[in-house]
Amino acid sequence: MQNALFSKDYQYVITAVNNLDTNDFNFRYSGYESYTLEELINHRDSLRKNVSSDKISYYSPSGGIVSFSFDGLEMVYAVDRLAEINLNDIRKLNYQNYSTLNKTINNNEPIYKIIDNFDWFLAFEVDKSYMNDIRDKQNLKIRLRKIDKVINTTVFRIQDYGEKSLLILQTDKFLHDYIDERYVKVDLILNEFSGLKIHKESIVEKDGLIGVYVSDTNKVVRFRPVEIIGENEEYAIVNEGEKINVGSRGRILIEGEYFNTIKIYDNIIVKPENVYDGQILR
């Protein structure tokens, strides 16, 4: 009868249930001989209810977050293996993510999984050159690119492998946004700077000074020196300088001399090779 339920052969189930009290019961339904009439009736009513609603309820012994997504790597990246995984384990494996929602499931196949807490772990392969900025820290900030959120994490484990290191971080933030994802894109934030963010390709050198070209309100191109206080491959963070009034252009000190630098909302020329200081844009 279970097979009939799983295969949705409801006509067979209804017929079988209605015939529970027939004379050939002992022949067709061996295993029910010890049931009382009341138990059989209750069983029949339960089957009828499940058939009519086309669903069967399952209850977890503990609460948690339910996921219907599987990728076959659940045991590879199990929490109890965090102390033994290595760099080879975290390099992207071939896998296929699939969902059981609205799907036909075979016997003994999982239907759902329950995550019993909000902690999750992120494992990274990090170049040795960055480890001096990480090794003595208990906490690190990361940026979750998909949702553009910066969160605090706890350093769970560090393991060196020559020129590379394994870094595992732990957090309890935004698990619901990544519960069905195996590999995620994040930025490790090793240093923080406060200033103005500009594209590095806009930076030029003029008369021995590092700066950018800015189009002012009259569309006249002006060179503005900048002081870089932090950078990565794509962007630089520059000092806003000392300001006399709120919203005014700040001044930066370069080799004993003050220069007016850029300010927020300046129109910075991204391709400086196409302009020159004093040029009027049309």
Give the pLDDT confidence score for residue 116 in this predicted structure.
79
Token pair for 147: 């949702």
Q: Poorest-confidence range of 50-54, 138-142, 198-202, 241-245?
A: 50-54
Residues 99 and 174 in one domain: yes
Q: Is pLDDT above 70 for 58?
A: yes
Residues 80 and 143 in one domain: yes
Buried b / exposed e across 22-60, counting CB within 10 Å, b at 16+? eeeeeeebeeeeeeeeeebeeebeebeeebeeeeeeeee
Residues 184 and 74 in one domain: yes
Give the pLDDT confidence score for residue 160 in this predicted structure.
94
Q: Is pLDDT above 90 for 240?
A: yes
CATH of the domain at 226: 2.40.420
Q: What's the domain count of the chain?
A: 3
Give the pLDDT confidence score for residue 35 in this predicted structure.
78
Domain boundary among 142, 160, 189: 189
Residues 184 and 80 in one domain: yes
Q: Is pLDDT above 60 for 30?
A: no
Residues 237 and 256 in one domain: yes
Q: Does some domain include residue 280?
A: no
Q: Does some domain include residue 261?
A: yes
State the DSSP H helix or E strand holding residue 165, giving kind and residue range, or none if neither.
strand 164-171
Residues 144 and 41 in one domain: no
Give the pLDDT confidence score for residue 27 in this predicted structure.
47
Rounded CA separation 32/1 (Å): 13
Domain boundary among 158, 189, 220: 189
Residues 154 and 201 in one domain: no
Residues 185 and 200 in one domain: no
Higher model confidence: residue 9 or residue 198?
A: 198
**Mean pLDDT for the chain?**
85
Rounded CA separation 149/174 (Å): 9
Q: What is the pLDDT of residues 94-131, one digit of tens each?
A: 777 777 777 777 888 887 888 878 899 999 999 998 99
For the entire predicted model, the pTM comes to 0.60
Q: Does some domain include residue 58?
A: no
Percent of the chain surpassing pLDDT 70: 87
Q: Does some domain include residue 282?
A: no
pLDDT tier at 184, thresholds 50, 70, 90: very high
Range of the domain at 219: 196-274
Residues 155 and 251 in one domain: no
Residues 208 and 181 in one domain: no
Rounded CA separation 118/20 (Å): 48
Of 260, 216, 222, nearest to 238 (Cα)? 260
123 three-state secondary structure: strand
Residues 242 and 162 in one domain: no
Q: Residues 41, 44, 50, 54: what is their CA dihedral angle, to the nearest 10 degrees?
A: -150
Q: How would you class 126 by CB atoms within 10 Å of its CB: exposed for 0-12, middle for 13-18, buried for 19 or more?
A: middle
Q: Does some domain include residue 63?
A: no
Q: Does some domain include residue 62?
A: no
Domain boundary among 130, 165, 189: 189
Supply the Cα-derived Rg of the chain in whole angstroms.
33
Other beta carbons within 10 angstroms of residue 203's beta carbon come to 18
Residues 84 and 104 in one domain: yes
Rounded CA separation 53/51 (Å): 6
